[in-house]
Every structure is written in structure tokens, then in C-alpha cells.
Structure 1
Amino acid sequence: MTHKEISRRIVWVDLEMTGLDIEKDHILEIACLVTNANLDIVAPGPNIIIHQPDEILNAMNQWCINQHGETGLTEASRQSSISVQEAESQVLKFLSKHVHENRSPLAGNSVYMDRLFIRKYMPKLDSYLHYRIIDVSTIKELAKRWYPQEFSRIPIKKFQHRCMNDILESVEEMKYYRDNIFKKEMLNE
């Protein structure tokens, strides 16, 4: 494996949180994996459920209470013994084996929000990641506007709201855009 090939890898991350308010919400789950530049999975990473105490879990908004209750994430977080610092350490250990520091962009759906929580709660991980982001949601919004026919055929997402499943769906979604949009002429209206 050449240095150039390793530096072209992409770090995919997804978080599940107690909400989207960076001032009061917390991370419940983190997962990551690494792909090569062609979006082939190089290494599946850890999927970690982080302990949060009842005072944090009970302060979630109604959407999170319902969603994380249905998926079992709320109870899994309650039962977990892994701190956010331990989760950060496990993810860093994994990434250090597969990507060079500050070389690989962070990717995912609405991953800017994940990055905000990583920056606040996992500063060592934030420092390890490259500052560039590949946000699948941006591609989705552009496809919706510029390539409506291709967008209408996008694979249907399951919206399971569990980290590793969401990452795998994001990788597949990006493959769809790569194969069906990035090689075509743009729609002229």
C-alpha cells in the first residue's frame, strides 16, 4: 500500500446523539469505517455505545425519546460502561492503523453536525481528522435540484438511526451518485 493510496482514504463517521443542540446534547453512539477512494470498504471500524446517565437521557426531545427508545439505543446507553473518552480512544486506535493523521477527509450524511459534536466531546479525534468534509447530504441536495430524474431513482434508505447501518447506507448512496451523476452532463433548465 503506497502512501498516496493511504492518503486518499476516506473516514466515514456517524453519531447518534440525544439531540442536535451542541450546547446541551450528548453523544450516545459512534461508529466509523474507512473506504478507499473508490468507496470500497478497507476496514470496518468500531461501533460503540456510550454511557449517558438518566439525567441526560431523560432530557432528550420527544423525537429522540421515541426513536432511540424504539431502536433500543436509550437502554443500551444506560447499560453501557464506556465513557465518551474511552470511545474516542478506541476510534483513534482504529484510525491510526488505517489512515494518516490529518490526511483523510471525514464523510457521512449531515456530517458537519457530527463534526460539531466530535469537536466538543472528542477533541483528540477532531485533531486527528482532516479539516475537509465529504457531506453526502450536500450531494443529495444538489442532485435533487440539478438531476431530478437520477435523484428519483436513489436507493431508498431505511432510516434505522443506528450508526453503522447509517454509514453503510451513506457509502451506498455516495456510490449511486458517483455512478449515476458525476459522469453525466448537468441538467440545463
Structure 2
Amino acid sequence: MPFRGSNFGFLGYLPTGLELEVDRILEIACVITDGKLTTSMEGPDLVINQSKECLDNMGEWCREHHAASGNKLCKESYWVSNASFGWKFRICGLHVSEEAEVYACKSVVAMKYMPCLAGIFPHVLVDVSSITALCMRWFPKERKAAPTKEKRHRAMDDIKESIRELKYYKESIFKGFRKSK
């Protein structure tokens, strides 16, 4: 499939857990980069309102990490559901669909939680954590030198860390695969 351009769209989101049928989205963000992974557009970056009951039912790991990073914001947010923020991403999608031919996200989670975005996505999805897992196995020495993640557990921060990590792989590990000119 030929690409019209070389831009990437990065979607990041924080769920209340990993059970797709039970858990909900706490936060979602988007960044567009060029083929060199230089940011050309940031946002939207939304915190989604979740009930006290939803937040109280999170597992221990999620409660511990998200309490420090945004539970209060979730309780105060006026974005009340996935449907309510879909319009903002659709507007973004008008720009994104023309700009980004490859998306970086966890596709299963994205399609479950955000079906309103399904029409925006091309068929090429890149999961940076999968690339990381492969580099750990195939290039363990080089992978150890990758930038460390600050693990702030915020959607936009996670995207920026993934972009930084992908830049490292491109410049350090994948450089041997570039064609000589």
C-alpha cells in the first residue's frame, strides 16, 4: 500500500484497567509528527469524567498510579463520556486523515473504547510497545541505552515518551537498515 505522505498520528490513552468490557478511559491525547518524528500538531488532550464508583473500582496498581496523576482531574472534568469527546477528535480527524498515514496506538483498545475514531484510522497501526518488545529481544544491548520513561501516567506524557523512544530506535537500532545513497 503506497503512502501519500510520511506523517504519524500518535494516540495515547489511560484506562482504568486492562479489562476491555469493564474498564473506562480516564484520559486521551493525540500528537501528529512528520516522518522524522518532529511534532507538527498536539492535541486534543482530554481528561474524561469518571464516577467515584468507577475510580474506586480500579485495581490497586491503577489506583496507586492514577491517584497521583489525575483522579482528581477525572472527577472534575466536564467531558463525560467517549461519545461526548468524539466530535473533537472528528474535527481533529479532518486534519489528521490528510496528515497522518500511520497511527501509533494500541488498536484493540482504541477500537473498543473509541469507535467514533474508527473511520479516521488507516489500516496501518504501529504499537510502540510492540517495537520495544522486539528490540528487547533482538537488540538487547542497544535497547538498554534507550531513553528511560518518567512514567507520569498521563496520556500526553506517554505519547511524548513513545515518540522519544521511537526516535532513539530510528537513529540507533534501525539506522543499519537505511539504504545508502
Q: Same fold (TM over 0.5)?
A: yes
Matched, 1:127 2:124: no
Q: How many residues align?
A: 174
Percent identity reads 32
Partners in 2 of 1:4 and 1:42 — Cα distance? 17
Matched, 1:90 2:88: yes
TM-fit CA distance, 1:76:
0.8
**Cα deviation digits, residues 67-112 of structure 1 (max 9, x gap):** 11111x11111111112222222122123123339x62221xxx32
- Which stretch of the first structure deviates more once superposed, 163-172 or 75-84? 75-84
- Equivalence for 1:4: 4
Alignment correspondent of 1:67: 65
Whole-angstrom CA distance in 1 between matches of 2:97 and 2:35: 12
SS of corresponding position for 1:183: helix
Distance 2:19 2:152 in 1: 21
Q: 1:47: Cα distance to partner?
A: 0.6
Q: Is the 8 A contact 1:9 1:99 kept in 2?
A: no
The TM-score with structure 2 as length reference comes to 0.88
- Contact 2:13 2:27 (8 Å CA) reproduced: yes
Aligned-partner residue type, residue 75 of structure 1: K
Following superposition, the deviation at residue 129 of structure 1 comes to: 0.9
Distance in 1 (alpha carbons) for counterparts of 2:53 and 2:112: 19
C-alpha distance in structure 2 between counterparts of 1:75 and 1:65, whole Å: 12
Residue 99 to residue 23, structure 1, CA distance change in 2 (3 Å)? same
Structure 1 segments, 4+ long, off by >6 Å, are: none
| Inter-partner Cα distance in structure 1 for 2:111 and 2:130 | 21
Match in the other structure for 1:54 = 52
Assess if the C-alpha contact under 8 Å between 1:157 and 1:169 holds in 2.
yes
Which residue matches 1:152? 144
Q: What corresponds to 2:131 in structure 1?
A: 139
SS of the equivalent of 1:44 reads: strand
> 2: CA distance between counterparts of 1:100 and 1:149?
38
> Once superposed, what is the RMSD of the aligned Cα atoms?
1.8
Query: Which consecutive unaligned segments of at least 5 residues does structure 1 have?
Result: none
CA distance in 2, matches of 1:179, 1:51: 39
Match of 2:78 in 1: 81
Letter paired with 2:11: V
User: In structure 1, the residue corresponding to 2:4 is in which secondary structure?
Assistant: helix
Gaps of 5+ in 2: none
